[in-house]
Structure 1
Amino acid sequence: MHTFPFALPRTAIALAAATLSFASAAAHAAPPGDFVRGRVIVEARAGLSDADLDKVVKEHGAKGKRIGQSRLHVVQLPPGLSEEAAVAKLSRRPEFKFAELDREVTVALAVNDPYIGSAWHLNKIGAPAAWDSGQGAGVTIAVLDTGVNVAHPDLKDRMVPGYNAYNNNTDVSDLCGHGTAVAGAAAASTNNALGVAGVAGAAKIMPIRIAYKDSTGSCRASFSTIATGITYAADHGARIANVSFVGIAGSSAVKSASRYMKSKGGLVFISAGNNNIDENVTPDDAFIIVSSTDSYDKKSSFSSWGSFVSLAAPGSGIWSTTSSLGYSAWNGTSFASPVGAGVAALMMAARPDLDSTRIESLLFSTSVDLGTAGRDKVFGYGRVNASAAVSAARAYAAVADTTVPSVSIAAPLASSSVSGLVPVNVNASDNVGVARVDLKVNGTVVSTDNVAPYSFSWNSAGVANGMNSLVAVAYDAAGNSRSSTAVSVNVANSTVSVASDTTAPAVKISNPVGGGSVSGTVSVSASASDNAGAAGISTSLAIDGVTKASGKGGSLAYSWNTRKISKGTHSIRFSARDAAGNTATQTISVTVR
């Protein structure tokens, strides 16, 4: 087994005392009424083109901006339109999955304990035994926080380039000291003869600053900066994202971004909070919520709880790094969460072939059951056990999954008349999990949705008037698939007569965004429109010059598994030809990480 030096310098007491004032000021969540003025957050349904989204929000005098490669958009509001009114209006739009206020939140930090102790939590969770199988090499943990002091001697060798989601730049300097401590708990270097060891001391750290300093000196973030940070982490190859902020588990935007990361093989860890109450938040499998335990495997006195808690981890008296290049002890679910995240990183390093759903399942099933038998409100599935979790991951033998998903179209109803943008709702389930749902119109895949609930915004102007057939196809991770019963609808759009058509179609690749980075399974979406109507258009989609999909109508989609190709720059080309023979093409380049 590995042994590590846990002796800390005498300056630790002074450092702990120096950070006390910050801990006290930031130990509470932002009041429920605090939100960012002048903007709200929406998620577009699959299939809604950027042009159509612009039209929808312009009806309200607003302007949308996409978050990374996801379907989330920050909507900038016009003067005079209140944020609450905008959410009420946009929530009723069938083109969106949700609309919500961009609420502000603070870090999940409790008062520091100025006491020089040992890194008791590493032995408690069996980390030294887990380290015999590896220390997280090859896995990147994104730390979404107040920034990180990348010069800290226990962190500098762990760093990869990061991002400032608040200012949209690369300044990740630590505003309040919290992020540096969280990073150290997750992945401070091991075996380097310096102060502390993180749980996954060979993993890489991607610092993502999501916070700003308010007038009181406290660091705050918002739903939009957190969703932006998670999306950035997913798009840039991180397998783990840790968010040690409170009051975010109920955010639809954070849930959507977390599901997006999960669809790409990642996991998001979030702290439960330090209010010592039942937070009364509905459970969701988009992320892992972590409560805090002490050295006696009891709930930390400050830790919040509730049915939304997935896992428990040590969070009392956790020795970690400080932004002043020293070390001190910290309390809070802020530190329980990265401990749990570090264990997941160890598992992913031990078995890179396991998907996020399997890693999560093994993490839960190997935890030490505390409190009420089974999952409970205080400890979730139990206190994390690194040794057992890594052993289970290494020993896991996949069992062939031959069960096909179930799928049906809930709306629109058969034989109904539709026009313009049509909301399509799909019910899909699977014994393990649905990987994606494709929407086919007259046999052509027009859109793909890999984030539940599965819903689409289908532009019916892309087909001929009359009866058209809709079919949803659900896939699981093993490749099993099932098609729904076809639903025929009557399309009744106004038509335009063109005497002599010499105008080429207008084409647009809406996803992914050209020049961006992609990873995992990417939903490639493209659309075409024409002055004579899109019904007569033939489309094709090629990647690196090889045709991957083709069809009829104004929309085309393809599910691109980037894990099967080399890393680097790749081209996507979308072509359209109208009934008169006019053609148009758009080509973009993306970087596969």
Structure 2
Amino acid sequence: MHTAFNIASSRKTAAALAVAGLSLALGTEANAAPAGEFARGRILIEARAGLSDAELDTLVKAHGGKRRKLGQSRMHVVDLPPGLSEEEAVEKLSRRPELKFAELDRKVTVAMAVNDPYIGSAWHLGKIGAPAAWDSTQGSGVTIAVLDSGVNGAHPDLKDRMVPGFNVYNNTTDTSDLCGHGTAVAGTSAATMNNALGVAGVAGAARIMPIRVAFKDASGSCPAYLSTIANGITWAADHGARIANVSFAGIAGSSAVKSAARYMKNKGGLVFISAGNNNVDENVVPDTAFIIVSSTDSYDRKSSFSSWGSFVSLAAPGSGIWTTNSSLGYSSKSGTSFASPVTAGVAGLVMAARPDLNADQVESLLFKTSVDLGVAGRDPVFGYGRVDAAAAVGAARAYVQAADTIAPLAAIAAPLGSSTVSGSVPVSVNSSDNVGVARVELKVNGTVVATDSAAPYSFSWNSTGVANGMASLVAVAYDAAGNMGTSATVPVNVANSTSTIATVSDTVAPVVTINNPVAGAVSGTVAISVSATDNAGAAGIRTSLAIDGKVVANGQGGSLSYSWNTRKAAAGTHTVAVTARDAAGNAGSRSVSVTVR
């Protein structure tokens, strides 16, 4: 395999040089939209676990807003009425305890620096040890989502790699490339290898899922919004992608993008983001939600254009990368836009070599096997080092899963024990684990009312779902191995206002809402969230949750949560159904059909 590929690779490089030398034009693009440029008439928010759709509607309607849910996540785009200040809405909503965040929907641009017809060949593949890695894996079975300007799926080096994608910006299936950037990024990660054509991607047997998050503006460039990027990551995670590449600058500090990346990571995937091309310290706080990639040249030096900072996780070749272009030919591209998909391709090789590894394990192997450059250890320019495909794949194949028998730790930080609460109560939980916390459940009087799978673990508990008096709060944390850690019980005094109502025969059934999932595709672990209301109050409600007719959870009160591991379910359509009964025996129900991928 190794020798045969080298022969084909040399033919592909020669073809690329010939085509690019004839057709490439020099050009530059900015790295970030002008400061303060954001979408008018909408903002982004994320609800805390446990907040019902009805409660969230009430909250956003107070600002004249109307929400749109992003996939199966808890994030929402809030459309605002004309004349309302987006900055003012964000400022007010950011202070609401029911929300994790509120932010402006900022405009961002691709992280491409220059096109140069005279720079190199496919030097980056040898530099990262890709040919040696290809002896054991080429990325087969892994889907890489390319969140960009679209992808030209007719390209001869891409057409065999394509799977259906989505146009987030227009809400259609048209994923054709508006500006050419996405086609170049896709080829960097996964152009078909060993076919005697043009170039080879790092993971040339992986699948490419095109997700258009950008639009073409009057200048001819293709910016995107934080909302389309967050939506695209969520869509990719829900539709089976294990890797998402986002070659846009200025997004690493976005709460929405972080939340979407955590959502994908909890489903076993990884999100790769370019550091930017401003040649400055971007001064962004590091986060474990995604992997930020800076750019190197053929001498393992920082590319002249590459940004840096403490948020950088890894470095990869990004100067003079031969790749596919939207004119069905090949071009040399430079920018952290291309360093990021190089690294995403290496992750694809690791995942293909060891499909059993989770996202944290794959990430750790990428970090540990990288070539340390610059200051010893992690540094702001190269992160943990320049990615090494051969070493990462070798380490993955040799990796032995150690039995994890250590349970996570969990402690309720707020509210304090014996405090008096009413209405919507913000609950904060501190949790840690030797490997990683998979999720945290909040139990009230023994019923799981909400589940959060991303730190910081926080909930919004509707205390009207229990009778006035003392209630017991308990947090339960789980790791990926199934170990469970339980917090100390926190007693609270529920004191909601009551009204005297004449005793009459109750014939009104509870109203049931399935907050999550919504109809559509699901994958990995799905957080099922249910709420119910009743004319006699939620405290007397008993709820039952069934999947395909089999009861999987019961509870008391107005909220019920359940973590459904769809990996144990057959692919295809499944029905999630909920029944709620009040104290008088009246029953209300609701169901939703989802497709497990």
For this structure pair, what is the TM-score category when the shorter chain's length is used for normalisation? over 0.9
Residue 27 of structure 1 contacts residue 111 of structure 1 at CA under 8 Å; is this kept in 2? no
2:397 aligns to what?
Answer: 394
Whole-Å Cα distance in 1 between the matches of residues 40 and 421 of structure 2?
A: 37
Q: Which residue of 1 aligns with 2:118?
A: 115
* Equivalent residue letter for 1:232: W
Q: Give the aligned residue type for 2:346.
A: V
Q: What is the aligned partner in structure 2 of residue 500 from structure 1? A: 505
Once the two structures are TM-superposed, the CA of residue 11 in structure 1 deviates from its matched residue by: 3.2
Pick from 8, 27, 51: which aligns with 2:15?
A: 8
The residue aligned with 1:576 is: 580
* Match status 1:177 vs 2:183: no
Q: Match of 1:99?
A: 102
| 2:523 corresponds to | 519
Query: Quick check: 1:292 aligned with 2:301?
Result: no
Matched, 1:373 2:380: no
Does 2:354 align with 1:354? Answer: no
For structure 1, the 5+ residue unaligned runs are: none
Paired residue secondary structure (1:389): helix
Tell me what 2:34 maps to: 31
Q: Which residue of 1 aligns with 2:515?
A: 510
- Asked if residue 529 in structure 1 is aligned to residue 533 in structure 2, the reply is yes
Task: Kindly indicate whether the alpha-carbon contact (under 8 Å) linking 1:405 and 1:475 is maintained by their aligned counterparts in 2.
Answer: yes
> How far is the alpha carbon of 1:422 from its aligned partner?
1.0
1:64 maps to what in 2?
67
1:358-392 Cα offsets, whole Å, 9 max, x none, are 00000110001111111011110000000010111
**Deviation (angstroms), 1:116:** 6.3
Deviation at 1:80, TM superposition (A): 2.2
- Unpaired stretches in structure 2, ≥5 consecutive residues: none
> Displacement, 1:588?
1.1
User: What is the aligned counterpart of 1:470 among 473, 476, 480?
Assistant: 473
TM-score (normalised: structure 2): 0.97
1:168 aligns with 171
Q: For this pair of structures, how many residues does the alignment match?
A: 587
CA contact (8 A) 1:141 1:241 kept: yes
Q: Structure 1 residue 86 and structure 2 residue 89: aligned? A: yes
* Structure-1 separation of matches of 2:358 and 2:288: 15
Contact 1:311 1:381 in 2 (8 A): yes
Where do 4+ consecutive residues of structure 1 move more than 6 Å?
none
Q: 3-state SS of the aligned residue for 2:299?
A: coil
Q: Is the CA contact 1:13–1:116 (under 8 Å) kept in the aligned structure 2? A: no
Given that residues 31 and 250 in structure 2 are in contact (C-alpha distance below 8 angstroms), is that contact kept between their aligned partners in structure 1?
A: no
Shift of 1:119: 0.5
Equivalences for residues 127-276 of structure 1 within 5 A: 127-276=130-279
Q: Which TM-score applies when normalising by structure 1?
A: 0.98
Distance 1:90 1:499 in 2: 40
What CA distance in whole angstroms lies between the structure 2 residues aligned with 1:16 and 1:361?
Answer: 38
Contact 1:293 1:300 in 2 (8 A): yes
Output the CA distance in 1 between the equivalents of 2:40 and 2:46: 19
1:564 to 568, 575, 583: 568
Q: RMSD of the TM alignment (CA)?
A: 1.0
SS at match of 1:335: helix
Q: Secondary structure at the match of 1:290?
A: strand
Are 2:407 and 1:404 equivalent residues in the alignment?
yes
Determine the C-alpha separation between the residues in 2 that align with 1:465 and 1:116: 73
Preserved CA contact (<8 Å) 1:495 1:533: no
Separation in 1, partners of 2:80, 2:288: 31
> Is contact 1:121-1:318 (8 Å) kept?
yes
The aligned counterpart of 2:442 is 439
- Letter aligned with residue 307 of structure 1: S
Q: Distance in 2 between matches of 1:455 and 1:463?
A: 20
Partner of 1:550: 554
Cα distance in 2 for partners of 1:305, 1:15 equals: 32
Stretch moving more, 553-562 or 409-418: 409-418
**Identity of counterpart residues, as a percentage?**
75
- CA shift, 1:217, in A, is 1.3
